[in-house]
Chains A and B, each alone.
Chain A
Amino acid sequence: MKHSFNVLIIGGGVVGNAIARELSRFRLSTAVVEKEPDVCMETSCRNSGVLHSGINYKAGTLRAKTAVRGNSMMDRLCAELKVKIKRIGKLTTALDEGELPGVKRLMDQGVANGVPGLEVLNSSAMQNIQPGIEGIAAVWSPTSAIISPYGLTIALAENAHANGVEYFLRSEVTSISKSEDGIFTVVASGGKVFTADIVINSAGLSSGGISAMAGVKQGNQGENLKIWPCRGEYYVLDKRLDGTLKTLIYPVPGAKDAGLGIHLTPTVDGNILIGPSADYISEETPEDYKVTAPVLEELRREGLRLLPNMKMSDFIRNFAGNRPKRTSPAEGGNGDFVIEEAKGLPGFINLVGIESPGLTASPAIAEMVRDIVAKHLELEEKENFIAERPGFAGHFCELPKEEQERLIKENPEYGEIVCRCEKITKKEIRDAIENPLGARSLVSIKYRARNGMGRCQGGFCTPRIVRILRDEYGFKPDDYIFREAGSNLFTGNVREVD
């Protein structure tokens, strides 16, 4: 099957979807090609959900510029897309005198990067924000925020789709070539052949591979484009502890740290995350999301130390995510983002090594990419661009009672609770199942409706969702998948049905 587009975006993570949404403002034909059965299945759904202020990045780098710009765009973007955002600020703390130079460095860096509202706080000012916090000084960055990373990514995708972007899921790119007259041909699994004027590589963990596939072996300044996956493991803590953290609390990072250190992050839904760790893993298996015994043990120890009234039963779940780093294990630290039109391959826009702060930077990266696209194609704004997503931010159970009653009258299915722990209603589950991208794995439903994320981890809701999919959508045992292709839930019926 042959498909022809102006712009082809490879990779359905937060960056790819931010680009798709931005480009969907214009009279262009755009498509997103994603190898998994849904968008947001790799790095974009496996991180702390933090919108960084921009203090952590060297002045003049793309990381710094896009983080600051992206952060400033988030309030409007979240309002339009109905995504919950909480501006809780961040304290980057120095525990002792030895860490004070780090505080100064971050403050100076932040100011140079144009980060608004920064202050250095002393211990008593820190106590005002977070009673009981350890440390002698901290950089206070009020623009730091928390968000649901999968909530944002899916909202971007569904809004882009509503504005005409086509999505090709389960489509792994196998070859990229360019003809003499400047048209790209991209082949993907399932016999799909795409032609495009512009190809955008936003493939995250696979971005190095996609770049090599297109014949672009190094960056325009000679940068390394090989991706070194670096795993971070997390624990999710029970909502019982909601309110313990009033703000984000990070340690002052060391220059050679591969990540920002193990810390506690409140989530926008009331959980707390502990992590992430940082361990390089084999480049052969960038999508190895194993959680490991020694790291889990370390996270448990840290958790019990940092949160005094914690219990073992508060650790409800763990998961891992992999950072697509351009720096090798020997180098450590972080390389800057590569965001550029490949010198030797006009029309091929390469985004390589978008690790943290990729989530924060995503709308700013989309702007940069748009400007590169504008050099090749005329960007005529659509009159009927749908900027706002329908519905409400957050969940039904968070709405005021009068609003709930009104909605139940309109739609009785808002009264039936399917996920008991998170109080998710049947209507929200139905909306998740009927999502415009057609993704119907259990995890796809979970990322949209948030069922299964509570204490019982799907014990109550899963049989109900199995029934709904069978009785109302005709699912047979083989149709149920958990997450990725091959993750079938069942092997068949107990007794065969005719």
Chain B
Amino acid sequence: MILEKHDLVIIGGGPAGLAAAVAAKEAGCDDIVIIERDRILGGILNQCIHDGFGLHAFKEALSGPEYADRFIKKVQALDIAVMEKTIVLDLSGDKILHTSREGEMKEIEAKAVVLAMGCRERTRGALSIPGHRPSGVYTAGAVQNLVNLENIMPGRRVVILGSGDIGLIMARRMTLEGAKVEAVFEVLPYSSGLQRNIRQCLDDYGIPLHLATTVIDINGPKGRIEGVTVAKVDEKRRPIKGTERYVPCDTLLLSVGLIPENELTREAGVTIDDVTQGASVDDCCMTKTPGIFACGNVLHVHDLVDFVSMEAARAGKNAALYAAGKLGDATEGITVKAGDGVRYVVPQRISHGENVSLAFRVTSPARDKLIEVRDGARLLASRKETRLHPAEMVWVDMGKIDLKEVESLEVRVK
């Protein structure tokens, strides 16, 4: 077993890991290692060939690989070490990692760790869709990988379950490659994807979107899927009798949610927030385990990579300061609560109060509302929003928060 020591280890070389590494180096840390399980850096961006990345960060509409390339070039220019094709098998609360790659296992002791593992897709098994289990049932991200990186066409007649952006993007991609996308079905009464994508991926191609409808049966007795039965659902998501309809297809794409990939986080005993399914962090992106930081999709699922980079830069910079002993002890701090109309807020605690940015998601679509940040009865900040949607993360910059003056924070929608 090879034993190594490093100041900072970043688990994951996708957009979060890359931005964290750059910020850490710029904050003065010279001993950084990015551990990436794929053979290339870039993470999920490598398969996101559609544009729309970087509108905030670079004021350009880039594709995923282009956005990743900007950061990869910085990482190379800054001479930051990368271990590719390497998986972290174990992580302890003492920041000891066990890694494995072809031909070698290592034990690495780190002064600080940044968790940037991203997320994975919710599976068919987890959805419990009844019926056969034939081939031709895929998660949208898996199809994106096959079509965009491996030159493989999974099917020609497609039904999509879930109106999340990945499903919408793939509806367009498959259509442009000659497949027939029959419809998109969404179990909620509103779409979970961006309006822009509904227009440009579905409306443009005459692909219908059926809300409050879900797949209740998969038919494929001869090996490959032949069709699905869909039905409208009530407010409790139960199928309504009499509304069943059979839709022939040879492919079912599931775009039904992303789950932060927190296996290592749990193994390390890091406290997880049940709502975000990611670690509970403070305004420095540090978890409740000293020296372990989290950012990006592993912390909470984002919709714009630009904000991932911002959040990751914060995590990287603070992790570098921590490794150098310069972060300053985290106080117990104040808790941040999700109030009325808000599903969750990140960070869940403020323990330094230097430059606080609150990120949150609302529980349901709304118009012409006021966002309020309160300390008990005291209003600290408020902002008018004409449009709020659960699919669009909202950010409120609070600037400096004096922990002596403020007891708690609550974000709510009025």
Contact = CB atoms under 8 A, between A and B. Distances in A.
Contacts of B250: 491
Given A412-B102, A456-B120, A487 B223 contact: yes
Nearest to A233: B130
Nearest to A486: B223
A490 B154 contact: yes
A290 B153 contact: no
Interface stretch (B57-65, B144-152, B183-191): B144-152
A293 B130 CA distance: 6
Majority-rule SS of B interface residues: mixed
A420 B105 contact: no
A482 B154 contact: no
A415 B150 contact: no
Contacts of B142: 459, 462-463
A477 B153 contact: yes
A459 B121 contact: yes
Given A412-B103, A482-B134, A491 B153 contact: yes
B228 to A, nearest CB: 13
Majority-rule SS of A interface residues: mixed
B147 A487 contact: no
Given A319-B133, A405-B105, A491-B155, A459 B123 contact: yes
Interface in B88-140: 89, 100-105, 120-121, 123-126, 128, 130-136, 139
- Most A C-beta atoms less than 10 A away, residue of B102, B105, B153, B221: B102
B87 A420 contact: yes
A456 to B, nearest CB: 5
A477 B152 contact: yes
B377 interface: no
Interface stretch (A84-92, A195-203, A310-318, A338-346): A310-318
A1 interface: no
B224 A488 contact: yes
Interface string B230-269: 0000000000000000000010000000010001000000
B139 A459 contact: yes
A481 B134 CA distance: 10
Contacts of B216: 293
B141 interface: yes
A146 B388 CA distance: 53
A467 B1 CA distance: 29
Interface string A377-420: 00000000000000000000100010011001000110111001
Contacts of B120: 456, 459-460
Given A289-B133, A296-B128, A296-B130, A484 B223 contact: yes
B153 A490 contact: yes
Interface string A455-491: 1110110110011001000000100011111111111
A408 B221 CA distance: 43
Given A408-B105, A415-B104, A490 B223 contact: no
B177 interface: yes
A425 to B, nearest CB: 8
A426 interface: yes
A128 interface: no
Chain A interface size, as a band, is: 35 or more
Contact of A493 (B136, B151, B222, B223): B151
Interface string B158-185: 0000000000000000000100000000
A415 B100 contact: yes
Contact of A313 (B87, B104, B126, B133): B126
A405 B1 contact: yes
B152 to A, nearest CB: 5
A291 to B, nearest CB: 5
A457 B221 CA distance: 21
A375 interface: no
Nearest to A466: B150
A257 to B, nearest CB: 24
Contacts of A300: 128
Nearest to B173: A494
A293 to B, nearest CB: 5
Contacts of B153: 477, 490-494
Given A313-B126, A408-B105, A463-B145, A491 B1 contact: no
B154 A316 contact: no
A418 to B, nearest CB: 9
Contacts of A404: 105
A27 interface: no
Given A482-B135, A486-B223, A408 B130 contact: no
A456 B222 CA distance: 25
Interface string A405-441: 1001000110111001101001000000000000000
Interface string A217-231: 000000000000000
B17 to A, nearest CB: 16
B389 interface: no
Contact of A489 (B121, B131, B141, B154): B154
B124 A486 contact: no
B102 A490 contact: no
A413 B154 contact: no
A156 B150 CA distance: 36
Given A459-B139, A459-B142, A488-B224, A495 B151 contact: yes
A497 interface: yes
A309 interface: no
B352 interface: no
Contact of B223 (A405, A421, A466, A483): A483
A295 B159 CA distance: 25
A497 B153 CA distance: 13
Contact of B125 (A285, A292, A293, A316): A316
A417 B156 CA distance: 32
- Most B C-beta atoms less than 10 A away, residue of A484, A485, A494, A495: A494
A286 to B, nearest CB: 12
A456 B124 CA distance: 10
B70 interface: no
A478 to B, nearest CB: 11
B123 A291 contact: no
B37 interface: yes
A490 B89 contact: no
Contacts of B131: 290-291
A362 B120 CA distance: 40
A288 interface: yes
A415 B2 CA distance: 13
- Most B C-beta atoms less than 10 A away, residue of A300, A426, A489: A489
Contacts of A495: 151
Contacts of B130: 290-293, 296
Given A293-B216, A318-B125, A477-B152, 12 more contacts: A292-B130, A401-B105, A415-B103, A420-B87, A426-B102, A466-B152, A467-B150, A482-B223, A486-B222, A491-B250, A493-B151, A494-B152
4 closest A-B pairs by beta carbon, nearest first, are A487-B223, A412-B103, A486-B223, A482-B135
Interface of B: 1, 37, 85, 87, 89, 100-105, 120-121, 123-126, 128, 130-136, 139, 141-142, 145-147, 149-156, 177, 216-217, 221-224, 250, 259, 263
9 contacts: A313-B259, A315-B126, A397-B89, A415-B103, A415-B104, A459-B142, A466-B146, A466-B152, A489-B136
